[in-house]
């Protein structure tokens, strides 16, 4: 059984005065629940997990689980390049009620494909909740090869992959090699439809932070056989998706949420606020999308 089908938001972590802004986080969670987001991912890349302390990660995960209260799955980002620490964080998340784990490949120290198997099995052997592999070689410098995904999928707790390689041929090979029931989630918002067409179960999304209902709709339309409408919505969202990556994620998406009045847009170093020129481009892309949808800016 899938952890979720449809759109999971890779949720930002709002800050105020360099502390987690829990009031803003609670409002974001409530908004997503109302806007049909199918699952919530916390402490991922978009959540600036790299600059959250261990205690902050635990607090954000626990807070989100409490506020969601079982209404949609909560997926905790507990991966890293320190296997023992990833095990500890994964056990913590399981212990407080996370529905699943998102485990990025080890970065910087990297490893071999055999090392990836050993790393993921070491974590999977210690927990009893589902694991989503997270393949994002542009950030980690390490690609999970399809044959390695097949080997990992043999573990009862490793049930899905967030594929952000951008390589549709690789994703197709994963779909061919892995057993039925192993889910593939798009990790790139401009490839939701192509991944769904290869049998994907949905997306773990950045754009869902600002367009939760629309991102959900792409998947729902496709699953209901309305492929033309799903394709149109994917293409209508393309400019705003591209604008959200005009600088390093999550710089633009936090700026967009600030423009929308949802958060104050604060980031943690080494990330810095979006440039004035790119902010204007982002504002323009939001206006154009709203106009195309018949929404007043």
Q: What are the residue numbers of the active site?
A: 134, 162
SS3 content of the chain, % helix, strand, coil (to 5): 50, 15, 40
Q: Do 15 and 210 touch, CB atoms closer than 8 A?
A: no
* Alpha-carbon gap, residue 26 to 51, rounded angstroms: 20
Q: What are the distances in angstroms from CA 216 to CA 35, 100, 211, 266, 291?
A: 8, 20, 9, 27, 20
User: What would the two tokens of residue 20 be?
Assistant: 């987690």
Q: Do 57 and 86 touch, CB atoms closer than 8 A?
A: no
* Alpha-carbon gap, residue 214 to 207, rounded angstroms: 9
Q: Quote the Cα angle for 226-227-233, to 5°.
A: 95
User: Which residues, at least 6 apart from 242, have a Cβ–Cβ distance to it below 8 Å?
Assistant: 190, 285
8: left (phi over 0), alpha (psi -120 to 50) or beta: beta
């Amino acid at each position: 059984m899938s952890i979720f089908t449809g759109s999971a938001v890779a949720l930002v972590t709002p800050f105020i005065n360099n502390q987690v802004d829990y009031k803003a986080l609670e409002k974001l969670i409530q908004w997503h629940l109302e806007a049909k987001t199918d699952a919530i991912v916390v402490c991922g890349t978009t959540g600036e997990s790299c600059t959250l302390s261990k205690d902050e990660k635990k607090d954000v995960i626990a807070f989100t689980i409490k506020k969601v209260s079982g209404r949609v799955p909560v997926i905790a980002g507990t991966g890293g390049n320190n296997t023992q620490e990833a095990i500890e964080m994964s056990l913590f998340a399981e212990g407080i009620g996370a529905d699943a784990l998102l485990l990025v490949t080890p970065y910087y120290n990297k490893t071999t494909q055999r090392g990836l198997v050993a790393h993921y099995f070491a974590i999977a052997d210690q927990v009893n909740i589902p694991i989503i592999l997270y393949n994002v070689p542009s950030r980690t410098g390490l690609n999970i090869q399809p044959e390695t995904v097949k080997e990992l999928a043999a573990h009862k707790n490793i049930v899905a992959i967030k594929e952000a390689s951008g390589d549709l041929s690789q994703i197709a090979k994963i779909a061919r090699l892995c057993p039925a029931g192993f889910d593939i989630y798009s990790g790139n918002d401009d490839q939701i439809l192509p991944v769904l067409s290869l049998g994907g179960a949905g997306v773990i999304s950045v754009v869902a932070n600002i367009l939760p209902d629309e991102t959900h709709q792409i998947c729902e339309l496709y699953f209901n056989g309305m492929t033309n409408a799903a394709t149109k919505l994917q293409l209508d969202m393309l400019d705003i998706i591209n604008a959200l990556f005009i600088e390093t994620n999550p710089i633009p998406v936090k700026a967009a949420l600030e423009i929308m009045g949802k958060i104050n847009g604060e980031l943690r170093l080494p990330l810095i606020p979006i440039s004035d020129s790119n902010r204007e481009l982002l504002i323009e892309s939001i206006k154009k999308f709203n106009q195309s949808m018949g929404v007043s800016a």
